[in-house]
Amino acid sequence: MALFSETIPTILKAIKSNLEECIHGKPAEINLLLTALLAKGHVLIEDVPGTGKTVFVKALAKSIDGQFRRIQCNPDLLPTDVTGVSIYHPKEEQFVFRPGPLFTNLLLVDEINRATTKTQSALLEAMEERVVTMDGEGHALPDPFMMLATQNPIDFEGTYSLPEAQLDRFMFKLSIGYPDQATEHQMIVSQEQSHPLDRLESVADIQQVQQMQEQVRLVHLDNSVATYIVDITRATREHAAVYLGASPRATLALVNAAKAYALVNGRSFVLPDDVKYLATYVLSHRILIHSGARMEGANVNSVIQSILEQVRVPVRLEK
């Protein structure tokens, strides 16, 4: 399609190269992170400590010359510690809003499930509307704004489960995982003199990211692929093992993710394979399984795979 900028593949290649300098052996995860960025989505990373989650986000922020902030969640964290607070200014005789760490381009919310439900709820408006309302006045977040939250799947003591309404606002749920032996050795060598993050330089800017996000809208979604996406999400609501299926927001998330993923892979159109690949990342945290089905060995991923095997894949796309 002539509408696409020829510079996009060059910019994306440079960003990927930057991220690979810091995160070794994770090309699929890098593609997913860039997909979420271009699709204006948020990412939930469920992983054990020490797998490079913070470095991942910092490297992306540096690569696009964006602002980065980090929030360490704990039970004492208040909503105003995240969003900001209005403080009375005696000289001006009025309340002045002091923005919190939420006002940034890339926000890392570490161990989000350690924050209380009240603090977690303070993030809902920001995630969906990109706005923080304080004393009846809306304060727009920077553009682009992307939130990456982490949670530890092992340590349950002192944690609070994320509400379904908040989980539904994350585009992806993924895990970085441990590196293989060769990659871990490469990591040691790369940090012998200094950390790769310290040597990283920006290869893009915020305006270019905004332009790429606009280009995602131009990616062609064939009507048969759109029907395929709807059939998948509707099947999650009708599956016998499912207690709560994917919402219409999940349908839109899968559409936007598939378009962005096509762009990240240098295409101006979505393939059914894009949808199949992304379905687990988009749907796994949005589906609840009946306790009886779990006792019989079913889990979210197995249910999604069974749905993908049952839903008819479009074989011909319109030109």
Final residue before a domain boundary, out of 192, 207, 241: 192
Handedness of CA 225, 230, 233, 234 (dihedral sign): negative
Judge if 24 and 156 occupy the same domain: yes
Judge if 96 and 231 occupy the same domain: no
Final residue before a domain boundary, out of 176, 192, 208: 192
CATH number at residue 303: 1.10.8.80
Phi, psi (degrees; rounded to nearest 5) at 96: -120, 130
Domain assignment present for 283: yes
Judge if 107 and 240 occupy the same domain: no
Nearest Cα neighbor of 303 from 249, 242, 248 is 242
Give the model's pLDDT for residue 1: 41
Beta bridge partners of 138: 133
Domain assignment present for 226: yes
Does the global pTM surpass 0.85?
Answer: yes
Q: Do 86 and 68 form a contact (C-beta atoms < 8 A)?
A: no
Per-residue pLDDT tens digits for 118-173? 888 888 888 989 998 877 788 899 999 999 999 877 655 666 778 888 889 999 99
Domain assignment present for 209: no
Nearest Cα neighbor of 36 from 127, 164, 158 is 127
Name every residue whose Cβ is closer than 8 Å to that of residue 205 and which is 6 or more positions away in sequence: 64, 65
Domain assignment present for 181: yes
Give the model's pLDDT for residue 49: 76
Judge if 120 and 225 occupy the same domain: no
Domain assignment present for 211: no
Give the model's pLDDT for residue 291: 82
Domain assignment present for 315: no
Domain assignment present for 203: no
Judge if 175 and 274 occupy the same domain: no
- Report d(CA 239, CA 249) in Å as an integer: 18
Phi, psi (degrees; rounded to nearest 5) at 206: -60, -40
CATH number at residue 154: 3.40.50.300
- Report d(CA 238, CA 310) in Å as an integer: 12
Q: Do 94 and 136 form a contact (C-beta atoms < 8 A)?
A: no
Judge if 178 and 113 occupy the same domain: yes
Judge if 40 and 145 occupy the same domain: yes
Q: Do 262 and 278 form a contact (C-beta atoms < 8 A)?
A: no
pLDDT > 70 fraction of the chain, expressed in percent and rounded? 95
- Report d(CA 202, CA 209) in Å as an integer: 12
Domain count, the chain: 2
Judge if 182 and 251 occupy the same domain: no
Judge if 293 and 144 occupy the same domain: no
Domain encompassing residue 286: 219-310
Strands 131-134 and 137-140: antiparallel
Judge if 29 and 146 occupy the same domain: yes
Domain assignment present for 5: no
Nearest Cα neighbor of 33 from 50, 58, 65, 8 is 58
- Those residues of the chain that have pLDDT short of 70 are 1-5, 154-159, 316-319
Judge if 94 and 223 occupy the same domain: no
Query: What is each CA distance from 214 to 39, 144, 233, in whole angstroms?
Result: 9, 11, 25
Instruction: Please name the amino acid found at residue 167.
Output: L
Judge if 170 and 303 occupy the same domain: no
Q: At what angle do helices 206-216 and 7-22 cross, to 10 degrees?
A: 120
Q: Do 120 and 75 form a contact (C-beta atoms < 8 A)?
A: no
- Chain Cα centroid distance, residue 216: 16
Q: At what angle do helices 27-38 and 53-63 cross, to 10 degrees?
A: 50
Give the model's pLDDT for residue 2: 43
